[in-house]
Amino acid sequence: MNTIYYVTKPLADLWNRYLNDPNFQDLTSIRGGSSGGNDWHTKYLRSERDRVNSEFNDLSKRFNEEPELLDVLWDNKLRLTVLAGLERLFAIR
């Protein structure tokens, strides 16, 4: 192995110099190696999944759990203002 290394090392360096893009390797590599789910696209997809799941969890909490008073007032603020405006229009006529 030691004698082959000195022959193949310059060939491997030449191969990597002309056929591998170091800038692309810097973009796609994350500290900790590329094995075991540490690629940049794996981390991006994992963060997107967590973002979508958190939105789903918020909606399920909103529809399945008992609402809080502040949430009810915030949800009904637009409805109450529109109804109050319609009531004023009917009162003017």
Say whether pLDDT at 3 is over 70: yes
**What residues contact 28, with CB distance under 8 A and at least 6 apart?**
34, 39, 40, 41
Do residues 40 and 28 make contact, with C-beta atoms less than 8 angstroms apart? yes
Per-residue model confidence as pLDDT tens digits over 14-40:
888 888 876 666 655 555 555 555 677
Is 13 a domain residue? yes
Q: What is the pLDDT of residue 27?
A: 59
Is 87 a domain residue? no
Range of the domain at 28: 2-66
Is 88 a domain residue? no
Is 50 a domain residue? yes
Domain count of the fold of the chain:
1
Composition of the chain by helix, strand, coil, percent to 5: 80, 0, 20
Is 78 a domain residue? no
Is 22 a domain residue? yes
**What DSSP designation does 33 have?**
-
Is 51 a domain residue? yes
Is 57 a domain residue? yes
Per-residue model confidence as pLDDT tens digits over 72-92:
787 788 777 887 777 877 877
Give the integer Cα–Cα distance in Å for 44 and 50.
10
